Amino acid sequence: MHGGGASLGDSSASATRITPGFALRPEDIALAAKQGTARPGADVAEYALRLGDDALILAQRLGHWISRAPELEEDVALGNIALDQLGHARSFLTYAGSAWGKSEDDLAYFRREPEFRSAHLFEQPNGDFAATIARQFIAASYQFPLYRELAKSSDPMLAAIAAKAVKEVDYHLDHSTQWVLRLAGGTEESRRRMDAGLKLMWPFVGELFEDDPLTAKVGDAGVVPSSLKEEFDRGTGAVLAEAGLDVSGHPMATGGGRQGRHSEYLGFILAEMQVLAREFPGASW
């Protein structure tokens, strides 16, 4: 399935031509939509909304570590990962919103909790540093193959956004992998915390790979989640085996985030994230 409008590879769209790897700004995406050279169909917009919400909520969670990480270098690293995720969110939300005449800010700041489509993993509390690393390890292990495959999308805009994002998520995956190994191979206490963090976050893996009617509708413009599970299992399994950690047989939690059914945590995230925009709508600085 293709998004609406002319292909961005057409000569008529040369002013906003998009090729995989081109560092699109949300402003570029909004301009392409305004010019009619890139506007997703309803299903592709809903699919992009999911991706944007995942990244937005994860960015908000990671941002809480700035000035609180166990060492200065991690303040910088987690802050940069949060900014990468925020950049992905801005691009996906801008593209999704172009189908409904809404901006990235409209979607980020003026939707209610049931209107968000993020999976439960991304809204889980930071916990201690090991719990955050466990969540980030799972998230990056999911996003990396997702974006790599999405870079082949028949929708040129989704492909361009993913082609840029996958390069950044490659670093996120390496960063979290090294910390899983470091904490598991450190002191008895660091190993205990890493094991506890994985067991805390692992139940939310299942929802990431659930297929539903939307993923079937988007066809070759999107990626079927279940098709990524084998690579996820292989990649995470190799790291956990090296770390001597075992999550096999761990029960999966009930999902629902893709349908707007969230844990109790999302409301608190949105209250903090949206308060200024809602208090002073239309303000700029």
Residue 201 scores a pLDDT above 90: yes
pLDDT at 234: 97
SS3 content of the chain, % helix, strand, coil (to 5): 70, 0, 30
Segment 10-62, tens digit of pLDDT: 333 333 333 333 447 888 898 888 888 888 999 999 999 999 999 999 999 99
For residue 283, name the pLDDT band (cuts at 50, 70, 90): confident
Average pLDDT over residues 119-137: 98
Q: Which helix (H) or strand (E) holds 268?
A: helix 265-279
Identify the pLDDT of residue 39: 84
Mean predicted confidence (pLDDT) in 261-269:
96
With a cut of 60, say whether residue 193 has pLDDT above it: yes
Helix (H, G, I), strand (E, B) or coil at 4: strand
Cross-strand bridge partners of residue 39: 4
CATH number at residue 46: 1.20.1260.10
- DSSP output for 26-93: HHHHHHHHHHTS-B--HHHHHHHHHHHHHHHHHHHHHHTTTTTSSSHHHHHHHHHHHHHHHHHHHHHH
Residue 116: its pLDDT value, please? 98
Q: What is the pLDDT of residue 223?
A: 96
Q: Rg of the Cα trace of the chain?
A: 19
Q: In this structure, is residue 80 part of a structural domain?
A: yes
Tell me, yes or no, whether 2 lies in a domain: no
Report if residue 21 sits inside a domain. yes
Q: Are 257 and 118 in contact (CB under 8 A)?
A: yes
Range of the domain at 57: 11-279
Q: Are 236 and 189 in contact (CB under 8 A)?
A: no
Say how far apart CA 41 and CA 50 lie, in whole Å.
Answer: 15
Owner of token pair 């992905």: 88
Would 3 be classed as within a structural domain?
A: no
Mean pLDDT of 259-278: 96
CA–CA separation, 95 vs 68, rounded Å? 33
Residue 1 maps to a domain: no
| 79 part of a folded domain | yes
Q: Which tokens is 113 given? A: 């909790």
pLDDT of residue 5: 33
Q: Model's pTM, two decimal places? A: 0.90
Lowest mean pLDDT among 21-30, 80-89, 151-160: 21-30
User: How far, in Å, CA of 170 to CA of 166, rounded?
Assistant: 6
Q: Is the pLDDT of residue 2 over 70?
A: no
Whether residue 202 is contained in a domain is answered as yes
Instruction: Look at residue 31 and tell me if it is in a domain.
Output: yes
Total structural domains within the chain: 1
pLDDT in tens, 234-254: 999 999 999 999 998 878 888
